[in-house]
Structure 1
Amino acid sequence: MPEPQPTVLVLTALPLEYAAVRAHVEHRREDVHPTNGTQVELGRLPGTPWQVAIGELGEGARATAALTASLIDWLRPQAVVFAGVAGSLKDDIVIGDVVVGTKVYGIHGAKLTPGGPLVRPEAWSGSNALVQAARSAVRDMAGVRAHFKPIATGDVVLADAGSEIARYIREHYNDAAAIEMEGSGAAHAAHLSGQVDALVVRGISDRTDERKSAADAGGSQERAAAQAASVTVGALRKYRPRGGSGGSADSEENPQAVYGGDHIDFRGGTFYGPVIGKQTGRQ
């Protein structure tokens, strides 16, 4: 008897990031977390075995951590990817590039002393299986310039390259290539679950300087979000379910699923029972 499709959770903070991911997901249907009301859309990623659950969580690492943990407990995904936009911290990483997070830093852990801050860093590594899938995917993506580097997460919008926080990051997190606001929350929640792969994928929308507002107004965020979504989808096309055949969703090994009510209709048969992502009867 066919099993329900394995699930990946793709999260965003902003509406334009959500829209960029949503454009790749077919046969979407809405569902709502039974206790906290978080809304997701579930659908298929064509050509893969994956059911994709997409969510827009808003800004900030703390809210992201709490909501990601509850979504993991509810949907039981194999992986969590946070996809969206970020500011570049390096001169050679420009608007439209994509940074795939080999690590995610939480930058606000420190002890402040008269001699300066003594950094107490937190870091979460991107899951090797997802990092490797992204590396494989971008080799064939001619329109994408990707960098596999650490990403810094902080509750700041950095628009001054000469600011104290910018100097702090350069001194203590010198290998960080981009800065954003949610990645550490998603990575921490995935880590605490003990069983979920995690990755942060960020398109570069600004250079973290005084030109940020002009870049945003010129459409850089939409471009960056689209690039991040493309890399995320490319990685998921290479990423394989644990214990599965890993073939295409359109192959006999991974039949296409069409959701309806309390059952999933597959080519060659119908599975009756709880549907992953359905509000009642979830396992």
Structure 2
Amino acid sequence: MNGNSGIVNYGGSMEVSQSAVGHGATVNVPADREKKAANARRADVGVITILTEEARAIHNVLGLERAQSSELPFFEGIVNVRGVATRVAAIRALAQGQRSTMMAFDNLRRHYNPAVVVLTGIGGGIHKDIAVGDVVLATRVVYYDLRRETPDGRQHRGEERETPAAIGHAVHAFFTDYGEPAKFHTTDTDGTVRDYRVLTGPIGSGEAVIADAESEIIRYLKAFNDKILAVDMEAGGLTQAFHERDGSQTVIGWAVVRGISDDASSKKNDDYHEIAARHAATVLRNLLPYLMIGRT
């Protein structure tokens, strides 16, 4: 038979649904199916980094590759640890600070809809029990930049947020298996073996680059909670973005992994950025199996 451009049935029964035949034909897919496809969870864990060293460490340690189907610079991959395969998507925020972190969170949410978002990179240690090279795994963040300026001085109005219980339980399980503090070691490219610890505790977050161990901010944080281990400039934005999330693309929880690169004093420099970033990425890799929450 020649010239046929349709459907031919030579006998029996046949059912055709949501198909189109002929020139210019179209199919209208039900809205609920389109919505389900748009909301599909394309990653189990989303990762936000800020600095070049942080992004490189995540890409190398997790084995992520540049996503080819997005205009935004996402990196993605499947990470196998302890028999668990975790789909990971990572993005580097456009700039330091809380605002870009909030946008990075939203971009991950819209494009990958991960169950958990982890902010990973470096931070400054402010507690006597933390050392350069150690890693802080935080599920509580104190945002310190809310304040009132008066003739008598500055009055901070710290705001503390904690991740949902599901993530807290996951972190507890991690430390149950690895010990608390957990003890890790990595080998540099030159063969140097570095031992470091992983501790859990709150971190302080605001817009300041702190290079004074006796600064008013650090004094305030220590008075707010003497167990605060470190400071950064982005975790407050992560917790705020999570707090204000809406819609059907719902992130279940968050965590912060900070490798300690300095002690937030006048000796602060960039010498340990790469090492601290790699330590944080290594800890995140080992944490991934515990974050397999809400997989669909």
Match of 1:104 in 2: 141
CA distance in 2, matches of 1:164, 1:241: 39
CA distance in 1, matches of 2:220, 2:91: 32
CA distance in 1, matches of 2:203, 2:263: 14
The counterpart of 1:30, out of the listed 67, 76, 87, is 67
Q: Does 1:200 align with 2:256?
A: yes
Kept after mapping to 1: 8 A contact 2:136/2:258: yes
CA distance in 1, matches of 2:173, 2:202: 18
Kept after mapping to 1: 8 A contact 2:125/2:230: yes
Match of 1:142 in 2: 183
Deviations 1:213-270 (A, max 9, x none): 2xx32xx2222111211221211122223266xxxxxxxxxxxxxxxxxxxxxxxxxx
Match of 2:90 in 1: 54
Instruction: List aligned pairs for 1:71-220, cutoff 5 A.
Output: 71-138=108-175, 139-140=177-178, 142-143=183-184, 144-193=196-245, 195-196=250-251, 197-213=253-269, 216-217=270-271, 220=272
- Paired residues in the alignment total 235
Shift of 1:38: 3.2
CA distance in 2, matches of 1:32, 1:150: 37
Kept after mapping to 1: 8 A contact 2:41/2:113: no
TM-score (normalised: structure 1): 0.75
CA pair 4-199 structure 1, distance change in 2 beyond 3 A: closer
What are structure 2's unaligned runs of at least 5 residues? 1-39, 185-195
CA distance in 1, matches of 2:51, 2:241: 19
CA distance in 1, matches of 2:168, 2:91: 21
CA distance in 2, matches of 1:125, 1:208: 24
Name the SS for the 1:68 alignment partner: helix
What are structure 1's unaligned runs of at least 5 residues? 245-283
Q: Percent identity?
A: 30
CA distance in 2, matches of 1:184, 1:108: 9
Name the SS for the 1:142 alignment partner: strand
CA distance in 2, matches of 1:145, 1:55: 26
Name the SS for the 1:145 alignment partner: strand
CA distance in 2, matches of 1:137, 1:153: 24
Kept after mapping to 1: 8 A contact 2:135/2:258: yes
Match of 2:279 in 1: 227
CA distance in 1, matches of 2:163, 2:58: 20
CA distance in 1, matches of 2:261, 2:243: 28
Kept after mapping to 2: 8 A contact 1:134/1:234: no
CA distance in 1, matches of 2:287, 2:164: 12
Choose 1 or 2 for highest CA Rg.
2
Shift of 1:45: 0.8
